[in-house]
Amino acid sequence: MTHGAGTPPTVTRRSEERSRPDGPKATQDAWPLAVLAAVFTLAQLVVTRPTLGMGWDEIVYTSQVTTHHPAAFFSAPRSRGVSLLVAPVASWSDSTVLLRLYLALLSGLGLYLALRVWRGLFPTRVLVVAGAFFASLWVTLFYGPQAMPNYWVAVGALIAVGAFLRHREDPSSTGMLWAVVAGATLMALMRPTDAVWVTIPLLVLAAVWRRPRLLAAVVGGLLAGGVPWVAEAYASYGGLSERLAEASRIQGRLGLYMAVDDQLRSLGGRALCRPCTGEMPHPVITLWWFVLPVLAVLGLVVAVRAGRALRTAVPLACAVTAALPYLFTISYAAPRFLQPAYALLAIPVAQALWYLVTAPRGRWRTVLRTVVVVGLAGHLAVQLTVAVHTANRSAASRGDWARTAGGLHRLGVTPPCLITGHESIPIGYYTGCSSGATAGNNENMTAEEIRRTAERVPVAEITRVGSRPNGYARTWPVHRVEDYDIRVAPAPDTPRE
């Protein structure tokens, strides 16, 4: 191991020994991580609130395993990992509050386990700061208790990369080898393509170092989590290439795009920025995004000087490859897409912050400590403000769906039933109906199938007020509910025009 200039080898060895878990002290060192995870769990419930209704994507994932609602159309890019994650609750209960509590607890446990893997590579104080940084981001607080995949890709990435480095330093640690498998499997179950992007540096390093066990662990994890997605591709889409092509179409045709500005626009609390137009958020909201890479690079410099470059360079490299497809290959943005990159960048960022408050001497130490404390306080205030704003706005839109469902029930559209047209998936879920579409990314029926369905069960077509309905619904009676025009198919024994 190479030591930086001015850093005595004995000092480096002592710092590494202090960061290595050992007996009772290891248990004591784990307590700060457990406290952090508990605070994170409570913060999710306070900010997002367990009563927050189900979102569009959550409905798609959850409806696959619940017996209380018909399964929504499951498009090509999606993977079944989230459905498996929520199955222990959603398979027998339709309580959103219970599901939120379950996911918040699970998110806290996931963060704790992911950070524990890194003990032995960095002191606990660094891991606590890294975990606190990632957990305090509004996108983490908002999506932690939701049935969405990106947070779990981030947890899997932390586990896989940390265990990879632990096993590299101690090849006898069989447990860390299995942790690599577990982390890669979790990522691939949630989003197979994300898992591949995250693990590119790991695959390259394992091959260069000639570590067949590490290489097999990464590949084995990817296969274990990705095989169900591949099998479904052949069963439902005609093959893997066909599913990938359909996934690309749904995502706007993958190619070379500049989505960096789209991601910046989404930082103000836009869950999905598609199309991503409008003004940029206030600079106070986006400032942290520009400071983040600077701190990450500083963390790498500090690690190189301390002789621990690899421990920092690997998560930094994995963060870069995780972010690349969402910054340069798609034409829209969602802040949650970058959660795995944020989680991995948290490691070098935490090192940089500790360096800034401990390394300088004299007046500079006081100045830098003040800057760091003020900066972190401002950062936390901004993140909490955006998180609360986003949660409130989401609650309002989901409340609209619930009220529209109530209006449909009053019109006689009750299960079993079918909802088509605008936002048919979420409104159908809240109404207890199936959802259908004859065109677009969620196409799953023909107009003739909808007409035949209307002969058996209630069917309603939903459009925005004044918008043109589909041809099969143009003669159906129109009713105004909330901001929608609802056309309900006449009952089979009612004369039709």
pLDDT in tens, 462-471: 999 989 999 9
CA pseudo-torsion sign 120, 145, 226, 91: positive
* Cβ neighbours for 496, distance < 8 A, ≥ 6 positions apart: 475, 490
Average pLDDT over residues 193-200: 98
Q: 53 phi and psi, to 5 degrees? A: -65, 170
348 and 408 both lie in a single domain: no
Q: How far apart are CA 29 and CA 32, in angstroms?
A: 6
pLDDT of residue 242 exceeding 80, the answer is yes
pLDDT value of position 9 = 41
Q: Which residues of 51-89 are buried (b: 16+ CB within 10 A; e: fewer)?
A: ebbbbbbbbbbbbbbbeebbebbbbbbbbbbbbebbeeb
- Indicate whether 341 and 404 sit together in one domain: no
Q: What is the pTM of this model?
A: 0.93
Does residue 264 register a pLDDT over 50? yes
pLDDT for the residue numbered 30: 86
**Given this model, what pLDDT does residue 276 score?**
87
Q: Does residue 3 sit within a domain?
A: no
* Average pLDDT of the segment spanning 331-348: 97
Q: Is residue 444 part of a domain?
A: yes
Q: Which residues contact 47 (CB under 8 A, 6 or more apart)?
A: 141, 142, 384, 387, 388, 391
Q: 442 and 319, same structural domain?
A: no
Answer yes or no: do 348 and 432 share one domain. Answer: no
Q: What is the pLDDT of residues 15-33, one digit of tens each?
A: 344 444 544 555 567 899 9
| 65 phi, psi to nearest 5 deg | -120, -5
In a domain, 454, yes or no: yes
The SS3 assignment for 274 reads coil
Q: Does 205 share its domain with 343?
A: yes
Residues 203 and 340 in one domain: yes
Instruction: Strands of 217-312 (E only): list them.
Output: none
Report the C-alpha gap between 329 and 14 in whole angstroms.
44
Distance (Å, whole) CA 139 – CA 271: 9
Pairing of strands 459-464, 484-488: antiparallel
Q: Which of 24-33, 38-47, 57-66, 347-356 has the lowest mean pLDDT?
A: 24-33
Same domain membership, residue 300 and residue 447: no
Q: 204 or 1: whose pLDDT is higher?
A: 204
Residues 347 and 400 in one domain: no
> Which of residues 330, 359, 388 is at a domain's end?
359
> pLDDT tens across 126-156, in order?
999 999 999 999 999 999 999 999 999 999 9
For Cα atoms 446, 65, 43, give the angle at the middle one, nearest 5 degrees: 120
Provide Rg for the chain, Cα atoms.
Answer: 25
Using CA atoms, how far residue 373 sits from 289, 379, 402, in Å, is: 18, 10, 43
Q: How far is CA 136 from CA 128, 195, 268, 334, 415, in A?
A: 12, 24, 15, 18, 41
Instruction: Please return the burial class of 396, using the count of CB atoms within 10 Å of its CB with bins 0-12, 13-18 and 19+.
Output: exposed
Question: Could you report the per-residue pLDDT of 307-317, keeping only the tens digit for each?
Answer: 889 999 999 99
Q: Specify the number of domains making up the chain.
A: 2
Same domain, 18 and 159: yes
Whole-number Å distance between alpha carbons of 160 and 154: 10
Give the per-residue pLDDT at 494.
Answer: 54
Q: Are residues 282 and 213 in the same domain?
A: yes
Of 303, 336, 359, the residue at which a domain comes to its end is 359
pLDDT at position 491, please? 85
pLDDT at residue 93 in the model: 96
Percent of the chain whose pLDDT exceeds 90: 87
In a domain, 464, yes or no: yes
Across the chain, mean pLDDT equals: 92
| Cα distance between residue 131 and residue 343, in whole Å | 8
> Greater confidence, 335 or 362?
335
Distance CA(60)–CA(71), nearest Å, equals 7
Between 173 and 493, the higher pLDDT residue: 173
At 422-440, the pLDDT tens digits run 999 999 999 999 999 999 9
| Res. 274: pLDDT tops 70 | yes
Percent of the chain with pLDDT over 70: 93
- Out of 306, 340, 359, pick the residue that ends a domain: 359
CA 212 to mean position of chain CA atoms: 31
Instruction: Kindly report the three-state secondary structure assignment for every residue of 455-469.
Output: CCCCEEEEEECCCCC
Q: Please report how many Cα atoms fall inside a 13 Å half-sphere around the Cα of residue 130, on the Cβ side.
A: 33
In this predicted structure, the answer to whether residue 456 has a pLDDT above a threshold of 60 is yes
One domain, residues 67 and 154? yes
Q: How many CA atoms lie less than 13 Å away from 308 in the CB half-sphere? A: 25
Residue 407 belongs to what domain range? 396-488
Whether residue 419 sits in one domain with residue 355: no
Q: Which two tokens stand for residue 386?
A: 């955006």
Whether 333 contacts 263, CB under 8 Å: yes
**CB within 8 A of 24, min separation 6: which ones?**
none
Is 23 inside a domain boundary?
Answer: yes
Residue 391 belongs to some domain of the structure: no
Weakest-pLDDT range from 185-199, 353-367, 451-465: 353-367
pLDDT for res 26: 58
393 contacts: CB under 8 Å, gap ≥ 6: 269
> Is the pLDDT confidence value at 12 over 50?
no
My answer on whether omega of the bond before 416 falls inside 30° of 0, hence cis, is: yes
At 29 the pLDDT is 77
